[in-house]
Structure formats: C-alpha cells, structure tokens
Amino acid sequence: MNIRTLCLGILSFKEASGYEIKKMVEDGMFSHFIDASYGSIYPALTQMLAEGMVTVRAEEQSGKPDKKVYAITPKGQLALGCAIDVLPRPDKFKSEFLFQVLLMDNLEHDRLAEFYDVRLGELKAELARIRECCTAASLHPGHKFVNGYGQAVIGAAVTYLETMRDEMLAPGSGAHTEAAE
C-alpha cells in the first residue's frame, strides 16, 4: 500500500485536512496499517488534487490561516477500488523488543525486566485503545473485523508476555546479574 491509497482510504470515510489525516495515521484507526509523514501526505494530496481524485475547500479558522479540507471524488473512489483490489502482501512484523530478548544474554537482568514490563504496558495500552474504538455503535462489518483482529493479536501478545514473565525473568534465564560478574 502507498500513501495515496492510505489517504484515499481515509477520505472515503470522511473529508479531512492533511493534519487530520496525519493524526488518524498516528493515533486513529489507521495507525495499524502504514506510517505516513506530512512530507508524504501533502505531496500525495496535491498530486491527487491535480489528477481529480480529491477536491479541496478552504475552511476559515479563527486567528489562523484557512484550513484545506480534502474530499474524495468519484474518480478517487474508483482509484481506491483499483488500488485495493489486489492480493495483499504478507504482513511484516518487526520488533526491537524481540531482538533484545533474543540477545538477552548481553543485558543486565534488571534492564531486561524493565524492557519487558515497558513492552507489556505498551501492549496493554494499545489493547485498551483498540477496545475503545469498538464502543462506537456505528461500526460496520469491516470495522468490527479489523477491531476484533487487532484485539485478538494484541491480546494474545499480552497473554503470552504475562504467562512467560516469570520464566523469562527467572535467575539463570539468560540475562545476567551484576552479582554474577
């Protein structure tokens, strides 16, 4: 997926400014798909505007420059449909945390415990955020499926970390203690 497709997907739900698109990619329901910067969002919107895939209107703001609000056009809807009508590539999962655990022999025990607990807290916060999104009564089947999938994957990670914590952080598990040196 590319930034154009991401922007069109977001705009297929509602019109939005570039800033609002960025917020939805950072913190909103689109935060689980791909990363996007302002430096990629605005050029994509400008190009799609020139191609007739989106429209833009100025919205007045008190004490600020006008906000540019983008909306998808029928040509944009068609382009979105074509862009997503392909077999998706396999999901990629990358984790610095797992790399650190793999090499835990090189970490102090207390530092590994800190990393472990921070990661567990982050996952629990993410799970709570995903569950919050599900409380909206207006979820259509696609929203419900994606939300449920997110809860299943993140929930499984939380359960695994909770289950494995004592074993991973037990003395002699791999991380070394200062007393052992």
pLDDT digits (tens, 9 = 90+) for 96-127: 999 999 999 999 989 999 999 999 999 999 99
CA atoms within 13 A on the CB side of 94: 2
**Do 11 and 80 belong together in one domain?**
yes
**Do 145 and 70 belong together in one domain?**
no
Which residues span the domain enclosing 47? 3-84
**Do 80 and 35 belong together in one domain?**
yes
Domain count, the chain: 2
**Do 69 and 132 belong together in one domain?**
no
Domain boundary among 23, 56, 84: 84
Residue 7: Cβ within 10 Å count: 29
Is the pTM for the entire model greater than 0.85? no
Q: What mean pLDDT comes out for the span 76-82?
A: 96
Write out pLDDT tens, residues 164-178.
999 988 877 666 665
- Predicted confidence at residue 181, as pLDDT, reads 46
**Do 144 and 110 belong together in one domain?**
yes
Is the separation of the CB atoms in 125 and 157 below 8 Å?
no
**Do 136 and 114 belong together in one domain?**
yes
**Do 120 and 69 belong together in one domain?**
no
Q: How far is residue 138's CA from residue 147's CA, in Å, rounded to a whole number?
A: 13
**Do 135 and 76 belong together in one domain?**
no
Domain boundary among 63, 84, 105: 84
Q: How far is residue 122's CA from residue 117's CA, in Å, rounded to a whole number?
A: 9
